[in-house]
Structure 1
C-alpha cells in the first residue's frame, strides 16, 4: 500500500539538502539534545487518534446537514417548507456561534494542562451531545421544547468542537517530523472526509430502505445514536497517548510555571497578526468546504430539483476521490511547499466556480457530477495542507489557544453560516448562481491570505526544537549546523 510504504520509509540521504537547509537556519550551532527524534509508532498512534476524533466531529455535523430537511419537519412547526428548512439551517449555524467560546476555554487550557487531556474531554462532550439529539422527542410530542432542546445540544456540540480541530492539528503537528508534517497532517482531514462519507453513506442507506414516514418518525435518529459507541472508541485511543514531545519539552523547562495561569491575554496581545492570517485562511477553506460537503445536497434537491439520493451518492463519490488523493497532495506539499498547493486551490475556485455551477444547473447526472468533481479537486489542496499549515503560524506555548480561538472565530462567522447564508441568498434573490459568487469571494480571500503568509514546509515549528525521523538524520543536522 503506497501510504503505508511512505509511513515506514526513513531514507535520510535523499533529504540531505533539506537537512542542510534546516541546519543553516539554526543559530547558534545545534546540539544533539536540541533535536527531537520522533518515534514512528507513537506518531502513527497520535495520527490515528486525532484523525478519529476529527472524523467523529464531522460525522456529527455531517448527519445534521444531510438531514436538514427531515430535521426541519421533525423539530419545527409544519406549514412553510422553506421556513422549516431555514429554521433547521439556523439551528445548524447556532452551534457555530459558541465555537469561539469553546476555543477560548479549551485552547488556553490545552496550552496549560496538555493537549491529551483536553482532547479527551472534547471527545466525551461531542459524543454525548450528539447522542442526546437522537433522543429528543419531536415537535408534535413536546411542542416548542423540541427545538429548544435541539438548540441546547447543538450548542453543546459547538462548544466542545471549539477545542477539537485546534487541538487535533496541534497534536499531529507537534508529533510529526518537520520534513513530513504535510503528509501526516493530511490524515486529519482524511478523518474529516471519513466522517462526512460515513454520514452521507449511512443516511443514503436509510433514505433508500425506509419510507418518508419511517424516516421522519425514527430513521433520522439512527445516525445520532451511532455517535455514542464511536465516541467511546475515540476516547479509548486518546487516553492511551502520551503528550506531544514539544509540550513535554516546554513543561520540563518549567515554561508554564513562569507565566499567568491562562495565556489568553498573551495570545491577544502577541499573536494578533498570525491570528488574522489564520482567520482569513480558514474563511476561504471553510466556506468552500461547507459549500461542497454540507450545503450541496440541499442545493441540488431544493434549487435544482435533483433527486436527493442521487445528490448524496454524487457527493460520496467525490469525497472518495478526495480521500484517495489527499495524502499524496500532503506529501507533495512537503516537497514543493504549502503556499503553491494552497494557491492552486484558491485560484481554482476563483476561476472555475461559475463554470462548475453552470454544469450543476444542467440537472442531469454527468454534468452535475462533473461540476461537483471539479469543485472537489479545487478543495483538495485546502484539505490536504491546512492542518499542517495553521499550527505552524503560532509558537508552541500558545499554539493550541491561538489556533483554536482564530480557527473558531472564522468558522463561526464564515463556515457554519454558509448553508444558512447561501440558502437565504438563493431564496431572497431567486438567483441560483449565488453559491458560485459566494465561493469566488471566499477564494479571493484565500488568494490574498496565501500571498501574505510565510512558507512553513520542512521547517521546525515556532518555539519547538527541530524534529527528525531518525538518529542518523539528527546527527547530520548537528554536523551541518557547525561552521
Structure 2
C-alpha cells in the first residue's frame, strides 16, 4: 500500500517551482540549519566542554562523559518524533516547524550561557544535560516535518532535488560550525578559548532562531497536507503504526547509513584527528570544512540525479563503497597522518556521503502517504539516529579506549552501514524506484512490481 503512495502526487501536474516553493525550501532548511549547527558545535568543541563541565580523573573519562551527554539528547528524539511528528500531521507542517525552531534556540541559549563546573559545581553539567534534552526533543520533529514540507512543495519530478536540500543544509550547518571552529581555535589562545571563546559559536547560532521563525511564519501550508487532513479518519500515529510499519522500517534502514556516516565522518572526525592522529585542531577543522563543502555542492546534484535515474542506485552503491572502504582508508590515514592524507580521506567519503544522503530524504518521505508522512518519517529517522547516530562518537571513543586500536571504529561503521543497506533492499527494493521513471512510464507493469 505504501508503495502506491511513493509516487502519489508526482503525476498530478503540479506547477513548476515558483517563489512559494523556494520560500518553502528556505523555511524548512533554516531550522534544520540551526538544529544541525547546534549539534555540530557541541561535537566539535567536545574536548573543551569536557574540561569545563565534566571534570574527571583523566581526559578519556571526561571526554566519554561529554560525548555521552551529546548522545543523551538523542533519547528525546523518538519522543519528539511521536509528539511533534503527529502534531505536524494534525495541526500542520508550518505550525510545528515554528515550535521546533523556538525549542532549538532555547537549548542553544542554555548551553552558550551556562556557568561552568568551577562556578556552580554539579549544576553546570545538569544545565547542559537539560539543554541537550530540549534540543533532542525539538530535533525529533524537525527533520521529518521539514522533509515532508519540502517534498510536498516540490514541483513535478523534482522531489529528489528539493528534498536533497535537507542534507545540503546539514552540510552547510556543519561547515559553518567547522569554519567558526577554525576561526575561534586559530585566533584565540587556549586560555581565551576555555575562558570564553567556546561560547562564541553557540551564541552565533542564536541569531538563526528569530530569522527562521519569521520565515516559517510567513510560509504557506502544503496542499497535500490540507487535503489529507480533511479526509483523516484516525490519528496519524495509529494509522502509521497500523498500516505503514514496513515503510517505517525501510526509512529506518536508510537512516542508519545516513546518520552513522554523518556523525562519524563529519562530526567526530575533528576529535579523532586531534586525539588519535595528534594533528592540530585547526588542521582537523580545515579538513572537515573541505569535506562539508563537497557535500554542500554535490548533495543537490545527486538529489537531482535521483529524479532521473532513480533513488535505488544512489542508495545502494555508495553504501557498499562506504562499507568496503572504511577500514582500509582509515588504516591508511592512521599509518600516514598528516594534513594531505586527512583531507584526501574525508574528501573521498564526502563524495560517497553526498550521493547517498542527497537521495535519502526524498526516498524516506515518498514511502509514507501525506496523512502520516511527518509521523512516519520522523519515527523512522529518529529511531535510527538515536540507536546508531547519536552515540556514534561515544561508541567510537569507547571502542578505541577498550581495544587500544584507533582502527576499531571502522568495524562499527561497516557493520551499521551493512545492516541499514540489508534492511532496505531485503524488505522492499522495488519501492526505491525513481519518481521520474514512474512519471515517464506510468505503466501497469511497474505498478504490479511495486504493489505487494
Give TM-score, length-normalised by structure 2. 0.91
Residue 94 (structure 2) pairs with residue 116 (structure 1): yes
User: d(CA) in 2 for partners of 1:179 and 1:155?
Assistant: 38
Residue 76 (structure 2) pairs with residue 98 (structure 1): yes
User: d(CA) in 2 for partners of 1:375 and 1:427?
Assistant: 25
> In the alignment, what sits opposite 2:356?
382
> In the alignment, what sits opposite 1:336?
309
> In the alignment, what sits opposite 1:240?
218
> In the alignment, what sits opposite 2:247?
274
Q: CA deviation at 1:246?
A: 0.6
- Which of 312, 326, 330 is 1:357 aligned to? 330
- Residues 167-182 of structure 1 mapped to structure 2, 5 A cutoff: 167-182=145-160
Residue 173 (structure 2) pairs with residue 199 (structure 1): no
User: d(CA) in 1 for partners of 2:123 and 2:242?
Assistant: 42
- Residues 207-356 of structure 1 mapped to structure 2, 5 A cutoff: 207-251=185-229, 254-256=230-232, 258-259=233-234, 262-356=235-329
> In the alignment, what sits opposite 2:404?
430
User: d(CA) in 2 for partners of 1:188 and 1:99?
Assistant: 18
Q: CA deviation at 1:456?
A: 4.3
> In the alignment, what sits opposite 2:392?
418
Q: CA deviation at 1:449?
A: 3.5
> In the alignment, what sits opposite 2:423?
449
Q: CA deviation at 1:66?
A: 0.1
Rate the CA distance shift 1:195–1:344 in 2: closer, same or farther, 3 A. same
Q: CA deviation at 1:446?
A: 3.4
Would you say the 8 A contact 1:38–1:175 is kept in 2? no
Q: CA deviation at 1:183?
A: 1.1
User: d(CA) in 2 for partners of 1:456 and 1:46?
Assistant: 25
- Residues 66-105 of structure 1 mapped to structure 2, 5 A cutoff: 66-105=44-83
Please give the per-residue CA displacement for 1:90-143, whole angstroms capped at 9, x wherever unaligned.
100000011000001000111001000000110111011101111110000000
Would you say the 8 A contact 1:75–1:139 is kept in 2? yes
User: d(CA) in 1 for partners of 2:202 and 2:373?
Assistant: 32
User: d(CA) in 2 for partners of 1:307 and 1:338?
Assistant: 39
> In the alignment, what sits opposite 1:403?
377
Q: CA deviation at 1:184?
A: 1.3
Q: CA deviation at 1:284?
A: 1.4
User: d(CA) in 1 for partners of 2:361 and 2:193?
Assistant: 36
Rate the CA distance shift 1:369–1:39 in 2: closer, same or farther, 3 A. closer
Residue 106 (structure 2) pairs with residue 128 (structure 1): yes
> In the alignment, what sits opposite 1:366?
340
Question: Alpha carbon RMSD of aligned pairs, Å?
Answer: 2.2
User: d(CA) in 1 for partners of 2:240 and 2:119?
Assistant: 47
> In the alignment, what sits opposite 2:448?
none
Q: CA deviation at 1:168?
A: 0.6
Structure 1 unmatched ranges of 5 or more? 1-21, 467-472, 478-483
The number of aligned residues is 432
